[in-house]
Amino acid sequence: MNSYVNTAVGALLGTIFVLMSVSIASEGIFHSEAPEKEGFAIVAEEAPAAGGEAAPAVAVPIAQLLASADAKAGETVFKKCQACHDGTKGGPNKVGPNLFGVVDRPIASHAGFAYSAAMKDFSKGGSEKWTFEYLNKFLLAPKKDVPGTAMGFAGLAKDQDRANVILYLHTLADSPVPLPDPNAATQ
């Protein structure tokens, strides 16, 4: 064999030996045990069984929740929505439609926005409106309330957060519709 070949093979074997030694040493130095408790548990809901399951029932009527709601707190919660929705008058559609004047507006009717087929079906040809009750039910779990909607938001589980956001949305109008009477609510 040639001395150059012997040198090259020796260099290759020496490099492999050094890399393996460093790998074994670093494994020993930087080895970490599995944590006793997960840092963050990801909770995913299971899909409903065949036959489907209706959206979760809303326990407290929205009229009663709105009586103690805070529009300023709703504006803070609405920041979650601003990634996809604009709330300014004449503002643009984003991933979702502009929400200025959404309360009591016909569902799936904002001009210039391409609604999903599921949302168009849910609107029953525009005859259904975004009433306080519909908004409350929809914001609880959009994907369950309107299966097939393109809205990827998981929903607002807390009654007070939903009421605050709905009251804030109520203020986003030239002439807001009257709030429902909390004493008349028996839903």
pLDDT number for residue 148: 85
**DSSP secondary structure letters along 67-102:** HT--HHHHHHHGGGGGGT---STTPPP-SS---TT-
Q: Smallest Cα–Cα separation from 96: which of 162, 28, 164, 142?
A: 142
CB-based burial label for 103 (10 Å; 0-12, 13-18, 19+): buried
Whole-number pLDDT of residue 183:
79
Which residues of the chain carry a pLDDT beneath 70? 1, 38-58, 185-187
- List for the chain the helix, strand, coil content (%; round to 5): 40, 0, 55
pTM listed for this prediction? 0.66
E strands, 85-174, are none
Distance of CA 110 to the CA centre of its chain: 21
The DSSP element (H or E) to which 136 belongs, if any, is helix 132-140
Query: In this predicted model, what pLDDT tens digit does every residue of 102-139 receive, in sequence order?
Result: 899 999 888 888 888 888 898 888 788 998 899 999 99
Check residue 64 and give its pLDDT: 86
